[in-house]
């Protein structure tokens, strides 16, 4: 990131490639809509590039990047709530998702169904569960990204996994 700060576009492209998959999947899991996820993803990297000069390496770069993306996701979720668009987006997602999901069904049935079950987990819990499993993020990083106390992060993580277990139990995927 320091190289990007100095104006190195190749370094930016390297960072982009390294975090592309995880960040875009995270945005999709937060928003359940590929178009919105792509918008947030682009805006996050645009912000990163334009404000590289103000970057201070006080925290991990991953923390910084996910904090930007997470705040942009929250903006969109707030806007959806304001305009009551949650239902509409979910319906669109189901159609968008058919192709890639079918092609990605894995041997382990639970793992394949976790993706679908995640959308039933309320947003504050879902984001913590997702962030916890992003490579290299510690509880302190998640607390920084979500602007929450450490205890809240841990309790939401516990409850988030509890929600997922409930959903999978309801679908009779676990006993």
Partner 1 sequence: MKCGSITNDALVDYGERQGDAEARKPIDRHLNECRPCRDRYEEVKRIAAGVRATLTAPLPKALVDQVDAAVLGSLDKWAALRTTAGPSRRMWFIAGGAGLAAAAAIVIAIIVALSGGNAAKEDPGVVNKPKSVEPGPDPKPEPKPEPKPEAPEPRPEPKPEPPPQPRPGPAPEFKPKPEPVPPLPESPRTKAPLPEPPPPKVEPKPEPKPEPRPEPKSEPAFARGDVNRNGKLDRDDAAQLDDEILQGRTADLGRADVTGDGRVDCGDVLAILQAAEQNP
Q: What residues make contact with partner 1 under the rule CB under 8 A?
A: 7, 9, 12-13, 16, 20-22, 24-26, 29, 34, 38, 41-47, 49-53, 67-68, 71-72, 74-75, 78, 81, 86, 99-100, 104, 106, 108, 110-115, 118, 120, 122, 129-130, 132-134, 154-155, 157-166, 168, 174-175
Cα separation, 119 vs 51, whole angstroms: 32
Q: CB 157 → partner 1: shortest distance, Å? A: 4
| Residue 96 tokens, joined | 């968008």
| Residue 22 tokens, joined | 């995880």
Residue 112 CA to its chain's centroid (Å): 18
Q: CB 141 → partner 1: shortest distance, Å? A: 13
CA atoms within 13 A on the CB side of 139: 10
Closest by CA position to 128, among listed 147, 113, 115, 110: 147
- Our CB check for partner 1 shows the closer of 57 and 79 to be 79
- Our CB check for partner 1 shows the closer of 57 and 81 to be 81
Q: Cβ(126)–Cβ(29) under 8 Å? A: yes
CA dihedral 78, 48, 149, 29 (to 10 degrees): 50
Q: CB 39 → partner 1: shortest distance, Å? A: 9
- Our CB check for partner 1 shows the closer of 57 and 147 to be 147
- Our CB check for partner 1 shows the closer of 42 and 57 to be 42
Q: CB 8 → partner 1: shortest distance, Å? A: 11
Cα separation, 120 vs 39, whole angstroms: 23
Q: CB 60 → partner 1: shortest distance, Å? A: 16
């Amino acid at each position: 990131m320091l190289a990007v700060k100095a104006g190195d576009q190749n370094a930016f492209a390297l960072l982009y490639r390294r975090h592309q998959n995880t960040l875009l999947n995270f945005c999709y899991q937060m928003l359940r809509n590929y178009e919105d996820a792509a918008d947030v993803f682009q805006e996050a990297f645009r912000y990163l590039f334009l404000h590289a000069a103000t970057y201070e390496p006080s925290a991990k770069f991953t923390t910084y990047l996910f904090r930007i993306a997470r705040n942009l996701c929250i903006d969109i979720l707030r806007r959806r709530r304001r305009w009551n668009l949650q239902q509409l987006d979910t319906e669109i997602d189901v159609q968008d998702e058919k192709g890639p999901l079918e092609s990605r069904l894995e041997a382990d049935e639970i793992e394949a169904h976790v993706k679908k079950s995640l959308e039933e987990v309320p947003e504050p819990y879902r984001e913590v569960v997702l962030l916890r499993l992003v490579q290299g993020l510690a509880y302190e990083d998640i607390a920084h990204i979500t602007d929450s106390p450490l205890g809240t992060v841990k309790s939401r993580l516990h409850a988030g996994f509890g929600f997922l277990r409930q959903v999978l139990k309801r679908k009779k995927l676990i006993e």
